[in-house]
């Protein structure tokens, strides 16, 4: 049972593991928190900035290295796991540098690339890299998602789905990243919801997409609606209006009940014939951590777990990114200036 497997990671002994984290920002710190909670002490953290990496490592007793991954990786040897949590444009280069330095087990933060063409090309190369590379879609390792999967399977499967990915655009800090991270915000951020929904129902067999409006920083649109059906013959629809109010959410229906992931970290059930949404009790191995982080890290450290709970391959990440490009009206590759 995948749900119970995810809860069991708290009982596993990871103390002999050796892990490298590339990056010392907010996301890298989430991984450091998870590694500390999992009892892993042999952790090195690499960053360009001496100040940021020392601040991060001081909290957990980890070993800091500064000067950038290009300089540090050849000097550090190999690790049981390398976690790449850099800014978006450094994700693939840092992962490839880790492979060049002999590392074989690499977890790369989502989305790995903003362009599906780059991911598809990387997926072709991955066959000869002799390395296990996975993309860190942490929400696909949420325990409540796997609990929902078990429930819908017991009830005959999903009959339909709808999801929403309205963004709180007024809270975005536009000083943290390069412009195309914001111009392709559907991949940078909204893909969390889209991937989670299609993990439940499968990828589209046919889809119609519509984009309306625009924002100064997101010219392809501000309101997105559409739908279709998946290769499992499950109809779905989606809606998001970035100029209005709302939140992320997913609803799926079965022959017996309706289920809601709103917020994504919780699970609610509406029984057939009722209008009431009831909380379905779920938990996680480390409730105090950002969900999915310890879970996907544990799967990377215990490859046999991936037979039960698969992580996202480069090829799958390419398909998710391609779907987002359809939904948001993006190009599949970077347009070079003439």
In order of start, what are the domains of the chain with their CATH numbers?
Answer: 2-139 (3.40.50.720), 143-283 (3.30.360.10)
Tell whether omega for the bond before 95 is within 30 degrees of 0, i.e. cis: no
Report pLDDT for 337: 52
Q: What are residue 268's DSSP bridge partners?
A: 260, 279
Report pLDDT for 338: 45
Q: E-strand spans in 119-203?
A: 132-136, 160-165
- Find all residues with CB under 8 Å of 159, minimum gap 6, and list them: 234, 253, 254, 255
Burial category of 86 from C-beta neighbours within 10 Å (exposed 0-12, middle 13-18, buried 19 and up):
buried
Report pLDDT for 148: 98
How far is residue 55's CA from residue 43's CA, in Å, rounded to a whole number? 15
245: number of Cβ within 10 Å: 7
Report pLDDT for 249: 98
pTM of the model: 0.96
Q: Can you tell me whether residue 249 is helix, strand or coil?
A: strand
330, 321, 112, 167 alpha-carbon torsion, rounded to 10°: 70
What is the per-residue pLDDT across 320-329, written as a single tens digit (0 to 9) for each? 999 999 999 9
How far is residue 232's CA from residue 204's CA, in Å, rounded to a whole number? 9
Residues of the chain with pLDDT under 70: 335-338
Report pLDDT for 1: 84
What is the per-residue pLDDT across 4-32, written as a single tens digit (0 to 9) for each? 999 999 999 999 999 999 999 999 999 99
| Residue corresponding to tokens 């953290």 | 45
Radius of gyration of the chain (CA): 20
């Amino acid at each position: 049972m995948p749900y119970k497997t995810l809860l069991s990671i708290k009982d596993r002994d990871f103390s002999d593991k050796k892990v490298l984290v590339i990056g010392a920002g907010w996301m890298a710190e989430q991984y450091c928190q998870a590694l500390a909670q999992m009892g892993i002490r042999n952790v090195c953290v690499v960053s360009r900035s001496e100040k940021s990496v020392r601040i991060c490592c001081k909290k957990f007793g980890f070993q800091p290295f500064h000067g950038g991954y290009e300089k540090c990786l050849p000097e550090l040897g190999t690790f049981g796991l390398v976690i790449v949590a850099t800014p978006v444009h450094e994700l693939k280069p840092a992962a490839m540098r880790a492979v060049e330095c002999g590392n074989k087990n690499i977890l790369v933060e989502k989305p790995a690339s903003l362009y599906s063409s780059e991911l598809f090309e990387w997926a072709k190369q991955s066959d000869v890299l002799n390395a296990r590379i996975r993309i860190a879609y942490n929400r696909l390792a949420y325990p409540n998602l796997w609990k929902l999967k078990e429930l819908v399977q017991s009830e005959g499967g999903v009959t339909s789905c709808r999801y929403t990915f309205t963004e709180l655009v007024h809270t975005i800090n536009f000083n943290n990243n390069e412009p195309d991270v914001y111009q392709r915000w559907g991949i940078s951020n909204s893909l969390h919801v889209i991937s989670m929904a299609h993990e439940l129902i499968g990828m589209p067999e046919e889809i119609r997409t519509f984009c309306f409006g625009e924002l100064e920083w997101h010219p392809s649109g501000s309101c997105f609606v559409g739908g279709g059906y998946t290769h499992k013959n499950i109809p779905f629809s989606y809606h998001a209006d970035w100029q209005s109010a709302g939140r992320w959410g997913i609803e799926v229906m079965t022959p017996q009940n309706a289920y809601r992931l709103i917020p994504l970290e919780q699970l609610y059930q509406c029984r057939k014939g009722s209008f009431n949404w009831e909380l379905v009790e779920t938990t996680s191995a480390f409730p105090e951590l950002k969900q999915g982080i310890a879970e996907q890290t544990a799967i990377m450290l215990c490859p046999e777990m991936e037979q039960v709970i698969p992580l996202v391959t480069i090829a799958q990440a390419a398909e998710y990114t391609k779907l987002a490009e359809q939904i948001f009206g993006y190009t599949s590759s970077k347009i070079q200036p003439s």
